[in-house]
Structure 1
C-alpha cells in the first residue's frame, strides 16, 4: 500500500495504539511463501514515532475491519494483556446464507486445528478442542433467506465465527471452507472494538464502515447505512 492508502485507513490514533480498517483479501503478515501483506505497509504509520507499530492481534485474510496495532512496546504490552484477559469488546458483522433457528444465542463448541492432506481447517472437537464461545443475534433478513448477524466472540480461536455459524446452520456468504464457495468474497467484518485502555478514562470504542463487497447484501438484509 502507498502511504496515502494505509494512512487513510486509520480509524483511531493516540499515544499507545492505532486502530485501522483492514481490507478484505490481504493477510496481516507474510506467510511461509511471502507475498503481499498489510504489515509490510506499517512503516507508513510511524507518524511521530521512530519505529513502525506492531500487531496487537490478528484478523483472517478475508476478514475486514477493525485491527488494533500497538505503536510501541508499551502499547503492545498493554493491549496484549487486555486481549489475554478478554477485556476487549469485539463485534463482528456476518452475512450468512441462511438464518439460525434461534434469533439469538450462544454457541459454545470447542475447536481444534485439523491438518489433512492438502490444507488445514478448524473442526469442532468436544474432547480435544479449545474452549470457543460466540454470542450472536440476528439483526436482519433478506427476502431470499440471507441473514445479517452480529457476532460477539468471547474467545479468539482461528476461524471461530466461521465454524460456529456454520455449525448452527448459518454458514457465511462467500466462505469457501465452511460454506459454499462462489465468486463472492467472504462476508465477515470486524465492525467495532471497545478497549478499556486507560483506567482514568472511558473505554475507547472504534467502528469500521463495512467494505464495499458487503454493502449490497447488508442492505438486502435491512441495513440502512
Structure 2
C-alpha cells in the first residue's frame, strides 16, 4: 500500500480483536510494525486511537496507513535445530493431499496441534519450514482445526492467496463436511442446531456454552444421521453454517449427543465402557473458491480415531447417503 485507506468492519468480524483483524487483512505486516503504527496513532478506529486488543464492531471504519511492501528485516533461514526431523519431514510430505502455486492442503492427523502454545513445540505451523519457497516464506494458516480433530487443513503459499482464502472463510463461501460418531442419537435424522454460544471459564479452562446474553455469538450447525446403532451411538454428517470456536463439539453435547471421546464437552457420557477414547471428529471434505479462479474440492481419508469409532459401531466401509458433500443441498445460513 502506498496511501491511506479506509476499511469498514464486516458483520462476520464482530467482536474481533484488532490484531486478529489486522493479521487477516495484512498477513505480511510484521507484528512489531503493527504495534509501532498503533503506538503512533496511524491505525485509527472511527478516528480514535486503538490498541491491539481493541474489539471491533460491524460498521466501524479502520484508518489504514501506508504499509510496507517488503518486510522490515531480511528473512533469516531457520537454524538446523529448528528444522523438522527426517521422521517428521517424511510424515508431513505423506500428508499432502493437494499442492499448487497458491495453496497447500494436508490431511492433518489427530493429536497434531495446528499452532504452538504453552508446552506445544511440535505443530503444523512449525513443520511448514519444510515447504519454504525461494524467498524463505512458509505457507500461512488461513483456518484452524482442534488438536484432536483430524482432516482437511488448508494453507496459503502467497500473501494474495492468504487474503483470498481468509476472506472466503470469513464470508462463509467455503462448504465443509465433518464426520462424527456421537454417543446417543438425535431425535430427528435431519436438522439444524441453532444455539448461540459464548466462551466461559478461566484461563486454560475456556469452554463454549449456550447463552442468550449480548456477548453470545450466533451459531448454526446442519446435521444428518448417516448410520445409527439403535440409541447407543450414531454416525453423523455435520455441516457448520457458522464458524465459532468448538462449535460442532459444543452443539452436539448441548443437544444431548456428545461426540465420542470428547470429555471436555460431554464429560463421562462421551466415554462409554468399551468404546475408543479418542475424539471421533474428522474434517472429511472442504469445497472452496480457488484464489486463481474456479472451485477446489479437497477430501481427507479417515484417521485412526474415526476409523476405530466406526468399527466400534460395527459399520462396514460402504459410504451411506450424505457421507459425501455432493449429497448435501446448499444450506441457508
Same fold (TM over 0.5): yes
Matched, 1:141 2:233: no
Question: Aligned equivalents of 1:49 and 1:143: distance in 2?
Answer: 56
- Which aligned pairs between 1:88-99 and structure 2 lie closer than 5 A? 88-99=174-185
Question: Aligned equivalents of 2:203 and 2:286: distance in 1?
Answer: 36
Corresponding residue for 2:197? 111
Name the count of aligned residue pairs: 224
Structure 2 contact 288–297 (Cα < 8 Å) conserved:
yes
The gaps in structure 1 that reach 5 residues or longer are none
Corresponding residue for 1:56? 142
Question: Aligned equivalents of 2:167 and 2:203: distance in 1?
Answer: 36
Structure 1's 223 and 89: CA in aligned 2 closer, same or farther, altered over 3 A? farther
Structure 1's 118 and 69: CA in aligned 2 closer, same or farther, altered over 3 A? closer
Corresponding residue for 2:93? 7
Question: Aligned equivalents of 1:191 and 1:84: distance in 2?
Answer: 20
Question: Aligned equivalents of 1:76 and 1:207: distance in 2?
Answer: 20
Structure 1 residue 33: deviation in Å?
3.8
Q: Deviations over 1:98-135 (max 9, x none)?
A: 11101010111111110247612111112231011110
Structure 1 contact 114–120 (Cα < 8 Å) conserved:
yes
Report SS of the residue matched to 1:123.
strand
Structure 1 contact 140–221 (Cα < 8 Å) conserved:
no
Structure 1's 144 and 154: CA in aligned 2 closer, same or farther, altered over 3 A? closer
Return the match for 1:204 from 287, 291, 296.
296
TM-score of the two chains, using structure 2 as the length reference: 0.63
- Which aligned pairs between 1:56-75 and structure 2 lie closer than 5 A? 56-75=142-161
Structure 1's 43 and 199: CA in aligned 2 closer, same or farther, altered over 3 A? closer
Q: By percentage of residues, which structure has more strand?
A: 1
Structure 1 contact 187–214 (Cα < 8 Å) conserved:
yes
Question: Aligned equivalents of 2:287 and 2:267: distance in 1?
Answer: 32
Structure 1 residue 143: deviation in Å?
5.2
Report SS of the residue matched to 2:129.
helix
Q: Tell me whether 105-114 or 178-187 shows the greater mean CA deviation.
A: 178-187
Structure 2 contact 287–296 (Cα < 8 Å) conserved:
yes
CA RMSD across the alignment? 2.0
Report SS of the residue matched to 1:178.
helix
- Over alpha carbons, which structure has the higher Rg? 2
Q: Deviations over 1:56-99 (max 9, x none)?
A: 10111111100010012111111001001100111110100111
Q: By percentage of residues, which structure has more helix?
A: 2
Matched, 1:216 2:302: no
Question: Aligned equivalents of 2:245 and 2:145: distance in 1?
Answer: 9
Structure 1's 53 and 144: CA in aligned 2 closer, same or farther, altered over 3 A? same
Matched, 1:19 2:111: no
Question: Aligned equivalents of 1:118 and 1:196: distance in 2?
Answer: 35
